[in-house]
Amino acid sequence: MRALVSATISIAALRHNLAAIRRQASRSKIMAVVKANAYGHGLAAVAQALGEADAFAVARIEEGLVLRSAGITRPIVLLEGVFDCEQLAGAAQGRFDLVVHSAEQLDLLRAAPARARFTVWLKLDTGMNRLGFRPNRFEAARAALARLACVEQPVRLCTHMANADTPEHPGTLQQLALFERACAGLLGERSVANSAALFAFPQSQCDWVRPGLALFGVSPFGDKLGADLGLLPVMTLRTRIIALKTLEAGESVGYGSLWTARRRTRLAIAAVGYGDGYPRNVISNTQVLVAGRRAPLAGRVSMDMIGIDTTDVPDIQCGAEVVLWGEGLPVERVASCAGTVPYELLCGISQRVAVDLI
Ligand SMILES: *Cc1c(COP(=O)(O)O)cnc(C)c1O
């Protein structure tokens, strides 16, 4: 039985994107960021397809455990570290590498089980002001880690950029300079760059880059598409037409009757809605592809359905394929119609969407 709504995941595109990132950051190792179910693409399957990555990174320890259960043996970094003794023990057992960003996490490591040993990424807060030691606390944190038998030496060093997706923003160069200054003379491997930084600021690439979005073929920049960066879309979200009708001028469609036909209209109803993760707040005129042709939405997005004005698309039958985003229709464009970022759309596809690898 074929699912009505499916997200097909192209393994070939994933590998193409990994290779494109390797060319872009040819002197760096790649830590593939696969948090949030690999940005909605399927955690275990994506990591298996990206077996050539040098390491993986996740946000939560549960995500790391899924990767180990799936047979992933590469290093796995917990980007936010651990938050209690139980998680620290779990991290030792899962052989996870830890980001350490707070005094509380230093205390946890001081009380680590006797034989535990961790690769640690010490995080500097260079201006994101989310996680990380402030510059004036950084050296003390490093010295504290240097005294711990459970920590591999030298510790690795990392920070995170707040504005790399807006290359003209002066904050990125300031953050990079602050990181350089704080790390001067230290031996550990370094990591700074997310997808945006690794493309827009090659000087940020250092020993390890940490791409997430770019692996999935999507651009982090508001004024560029994945294709402009040499990337291929990995996820294509598809559904089918389940009803067709002809409306006379003046008849309206959907909840709130917000859309009214200005001419005789061939209206198609497709099986997808916000219950699948298609955004409800798209502006009118947002487009989909019906049998490969662009056509605008008509009326509000409901939980399970959308209306499409297919008057200008000839010969549409029930069962015709509709692409919501992916091949032929960049998710970046849909995100901009929804007033959000592609990250949110990708990782927001819901449980009832069938995820198929091809
Ligand atoms: C999510 C995340 C990344 C990946 O960011 P992209 O913009 O998807 O490339 C890198 N580093 C950290 C710390 C993150 O949280």
In tens digits, the chain (358 residues) has pLDDT values of 888 999 999 999 999 999 999 999 999 999 999 999 999 999 999 999 999 999 999 999 999 999 999 999 999 999 999 999 999 999 999 999 999 999 999 999 999 988 899 999 999 999 999 999 999 999 999 999 999 999 999 999 999 999 999 999 999 999 999 999 999 999 999 999 999 999 999 999 999 999 999 999 999 999 999 999 999 999 999 999 999 999 999 999 999 999 999 999 999 999 999 999 999 999 989 999 999 999 999 999 999 999 999 999 999 999 999 999 999 999 999 999 999 999 999 999 999 999 999 9
Task: Compute the CA torsion angle 147, 152, 156, 159 (nearest 10 deg).
Answer: -70
How far away, in angstroms, is 76 Cα from ligand 1 center?
14
- Let me know: does 298 contact 266? Beta carbons within 8 Å: no
Q: Which domains does the chain have, with CATH numbers?
A: 11-218 (3.20.20.10), 235-357 (2.40.37.10)
Amino acid in position 221:
F
Cα gap 8→124, rounded to integer Å: 38
Q: Which of 29, 30, 194, 218 to mutate to test the pocket of ligand 1 (most atoms within 8 A of CB)?
A: 194
Closest atom, ligand 1, to C-alpha of 99:
13
Please report where in the chains the tokens 């209206």 appear, as a residue. Answer: 267
How far away, in angstroms, is 210 Cα from ligand 1 center?
6
**Main-chain dihedrals φ then ψ at residue 80, nearest 5 degrees:** -110, 5
How far away, in angstroms, is 267 Cα from ligand 1 center?
41
Q: Which of 17, 30, 33 to mutate to test the pocket of ligand 1 (most atoms within 8 A of CB)?
A: 33
Q: Which residues contact 26 (CB under 8 A, 6 or more apart)?
A: none
Closest residue (by CA) to atom 6 of ligand 1?
212
How far away, in angstroms, is 9 Cα from ligand 1 center?
20
Identify the pLDDT of residue 49. Answer: 97
Ligand 1 in contact with 79 (CB < 6 A)? yes
- Let me know: does 353 contact 237? Beta carbons within 8 Å: yes
Ligand 1 in contact with 132 (CB < 6 A)? no
